[in-house]
Amino acid sequence: MGDDEIRAAFFMLFLYIFLPLLLLGGTWLTQHMIVRSRRKYLSEQEEYFRGKICMTNLKQFPGGNCFAPVLVTGAAVIANNYFISFVSGFRNLFGGEMKGYSGMCSDVRRLALVRMLQEAEKAGADAVCNIRFETSTINSEGKKSGGVELVAYGTAFRRSHS
């Protein structure tokens, strides 16, 4: 075996094994950092609104009048994540919960709710009732790319006349 054949074998090994593993690892690390940053932001925002704006999914807020009601919405769109799709493909073989998708859906739900609360705060509200969630699929002309939009909406109002 000559030097050229050894170099060619190492090149093929790098090209077909090490490079894909390096890209997969880099993708995982980047995704991990993005998710961690998003969850920190969501925790900070949820803590900010805790006790500041009361929320319920009831059609009317219990025990009181409501002043200056206004519809508030918060929307968030998540794109298909090819890394999670790749990993979940293996989960499809064996069955079980797709934790990557579960976490992503939970994050987008929390983000839409936080955006709705931010809009309620801008309207001067201290309560939101009749909170609902709606989803819709966004396809890119029949291709697999696209995403899912989640909208949180409710009726924001002040509980006291001020």
For the segment 147-160, the average pLDDT, to the nearest whole number, is 90
Q: Higher confidence at residue 69 or residue 82?
A: 69
pLDDT of 28 above 90: no
pLDDT of 109 above 70: yes
Structure tokens, 74 = 């918060």
Q: How many domains does the chain have?
A: 1
For the segment 51-55, the average pLDDT, to the nearest whole number, is 91
pLDDT of 150 above 90: yes
Which of these ranges, 82-91, 92-101, 149-158, has the smallest mean pLDDT?
A: 82-91
Supply the pTM of this predicted model.
Answer: 0.79
Helix, strand, coil content of the chain in percent (nearest 5): 50, 30, 20
For the segment 115-132, the average pLDDT, to the nearest whole number, is 95
Structure tokens, 101 = 């998708």
Q: What is the pLDDT of residues 127-147, one digit of tens each?
A: 999 999 999 888 766 666 567
Q: Higher confidence at residue 50 or residue 19?
A: 50
In this predicted structure, what is the pLDDT of residue 27?
A: 82
| Region class of 100: left (phi > 0), else alpha (psi between -120 and 50), else beta | alpha
Residue 121: CA count within 13 A, CB half-sphere: 15
Which of these ranges, 26-30, 50-54, 59-63, 122-126, has the smallest mean pLDDT?
A: 59-63
For the segment 67-79, the average pLDDT, to the nearest whole number, is 92
Residue that has been written with the tokens 């090490």 in this structure: 18
CATH number at residue 52: 3.30.110.70
Residues, the chain: 162
Q: Higher confidence at residue 21 or residue 124?
A: 124
154 lies in which domain range?
A: 3-158
pLDDT of 36 above 80: yes
